[in-house]
Amino acid sequence: MASDIEQQPPVSFIGKKGNSSGEGYGVEEPLLKIESRDDYSVASAILPFLFPAFGGLLYGYDIGATSSATISIQSPTSSGISWYNLSSVEVGLITSGSLYGALIGSILAFNVADFLGRRRELVVSSLMYLIGALVTALAPNFVIMVIGRFIYGIGIGLAMHAAPMYIAETAPSQIRGLLISLKEFFIVLGMLEGYIAGSLLVDAYVGWRYMYGVSSPLSLIMGIGMWWLPASPRWILLRAIQGKGDVQDLRKTAITCLCRLRGNAIGDSAPQKVDEILSELSHLREEEEATIAEMFQGKCLKALMIGCGLVLFQQITGQPSVLYYAATIFQSAGFSAASDATRASILLGFLKLIMTGAAVLVVDRLGRRPLLLGGVSGIVISLFLLGSYYTYLHNIPAVAVIALLLYVGCYQLSFGPIGWLMISEIFPLRLRGRGLSIAVLVNFGANALVTFAFSPLEELLGAGVVFFIFGVIAVLSLVFIFFMIPETKGLTLEEIEAKLL
């Protein structure tokens, strides 16, 4: 627990005081000096990122493993159950059960996140992951299995809400983008691990139980790690500003937490940094908890428009549907691996991992806007190529393969990592918990909408027309990014908030 941590030498954060004219960044005199590389050590930055990122790894693993688990569980010879003859609706419930749970987890996060704090929310998330994985893996019948999937999904919703907040609030500003983008890398890494595990276990006796059971030790590691880590100093100081505890006691706790997060490299500057964050919070008048009505006013409304708009476009530009067609596209191109959906998924998983790694390496150098504009431009081209393939170019399967790979690569350079990065940065501190829960809810809701609407739309209009529609939506998302998304590269969270004024 944060209050039980021994005092260690301190660190420093950053912030600038907003000016009244709103010129430039909306900041004037530096309230804090921009952190130097000596303000933190690489070793001390790893664990505060790694354990929250396990929440993303477990989310990605579930996506990858479920694609094979639904094949394994319907096998009359290897499923090991008497209820293997599932209907399409029942298979759909197994597949989407975690998604519905994630929607509920997002709603729960809206009400309890600011009370629990980022760290304890991640502990609860790991507990939901653990219970959900065990119930699913040991399920004696279909109903219990769906309940397990639902519980696991609650863990996803809580983790996808709290992990980016915890990382954003504890990471040094100059590597914040890298670390939050690395969380997306962990999601993709989890997908790849799920695809590989599924490929190895799909023909094993009761292989689906092993696929889901693998999540249990990982969730246990995540829970133990988050219990050991300190609370977010910014969340602690927000409690002080809101009068939810003795200011001096909370200040000391924040100093202790900051020292643990940054290690010995911070020297004696932690008390100064904590005082500067307190001053900045007071300057931005964050004395009270944000009301629901206030969330739709002023800078809060602007942050919601940016965050929710970004994650909405992330989904309605067709990401679930493009991956849904992956195996068909590989089959039409004549690849031998295309007859096996799990192997095709592994190939795409490797591409997603490589491109996410590239985004992680350059996001803090190139910035968020260039990657979004460039990546989404590639998505537009790929969607129109896919639409053309299914409408006019059936006899040139290479067009579809190139479009698919271009889409996956560009998505992982742009919407994939930067969507989660931006929503963790742009919400004002006292609204961050509720704002992020709304954004996560929009994300999973839009995902569900696209996933379930694609098949009837494809049957009604044809795949080509649907991909053209996605292409037009992607063009609209480019306009949204160009006019609405600010550049947050190198700015502290306080500076970003001042920029939105």
Amino acid at 293: A
Q: What is the pLDDT of residues 294-346, one digit of tens each?
A: 667 767 788 889 989 999 999 899 887 776 666 666 666 665 543 455 666 67
CA 492 → CA 25, 111, 430, distances in Å? 12, 26, 16
Higher pLDDT, 51 or 264: 51
What is the pLDDT, as a whole number, of residue 32?
Answer: 33
Q: Which residue has the higher pLDDT, 263 or 229?
A: 229
pLDDT band at 449 (very low <50, low <70, confident <90, very high): confident
Q: How far is it, in rounded angstroms, from Cα 286 to Cα 255? A: 20
Domains of the chain: 33-285 (1.20.1250.20), 291-501 (1.20.1250.20)
Between 421 and 44, residue with greater pLDDT? 421
Distances (CA, A) of 162 to 97, 159, 313, 421: 21, 5, 21, 12
Listed ranges 14-23, 225-234, 265-274, 288-297; the one with the highest mean pLDDT: 225-234
Distance in angstroms (rounded) separating the CA atoms of residues 146 and 149: 5
The model's confidence at residue 10, banded by pLDDT at 50, 70 and 90, is very low
CA-CA distance, 20 to 492, in Å (whole number)? 19
Mean pLDDT (the chain) is: 79
Interacting residues of 193 by C-beta distance below 8 A, sequence separation 6+: 57, 60, 61, 64
Per-residue pLDDT of 403-417, as tens digits, reads 988 998 999 889 988
Tokens coding 31: 């309230």
Q: How confident is the model at residue 75 (pLDDT cuts 50, 70, 90)?
A: confident
In the predicted model, what is the mean pLDDT of residues 280-301?
Answer: 62
Kindly state the average pLDDT of the residues 102-121. Answer: 82
The strand ranges marked E within 125-283 are none
For the ranges 240-244, 270-274, 284-288, 402-406, the one whose mean pLDDT is highest: 402-406
Per-residue pLDDT at 437: 79
Question: 8 or 207: whose pLDDT is higher?
Answer: 207
Q: Packing angle between helix 463-484 and helix 368-391, nearest 10 degrees?
A: 160
Q: Among residues of the chain, what percentage have pLDDT more than 70?
A: 79
Q: Which residues pair with 16 in a beta bridge?
A: 30
pLDDT band for 4, please (50, 70, 90 cuts).
very low
Kindly tell me the sign of the dihedral angle through the C-alpha atoms of 421, 423, 429, 433. negative
What pLDDT score does 38 carry? 41
> Which pLDDT does position 267 carry in this prediction?
61
- Residues β-bridged to residue 27: 18
Query: Which residues are CB-neighbours of 192 under 8 A, at least 6 positions away?
Result: 60, 64, 346, 349, 350, 352, 353
pLDDT in tens, 55-72: 999 998 998 888 788 888
User: What's the chain's Rg over C-alpha atoms?
Assistant: 23
pLDDT bin (cut points 50, 70, 90) of residue 480 is very high
- Residue 37: pLDDT band by 50, 70, 90 thresholds? very low
Q: Per the structure block, which two tokens stand in for 362?
A: 């350059």
Determine how many CB atoms are found less than 10 A away from the CB of residue 418.
28
What pLDDT score does 40 carry?
Answer: 57
Please report which confidence band the pLDDT of residue 379 belongs to, taking 50, 70 and 90 as the band edges: very high
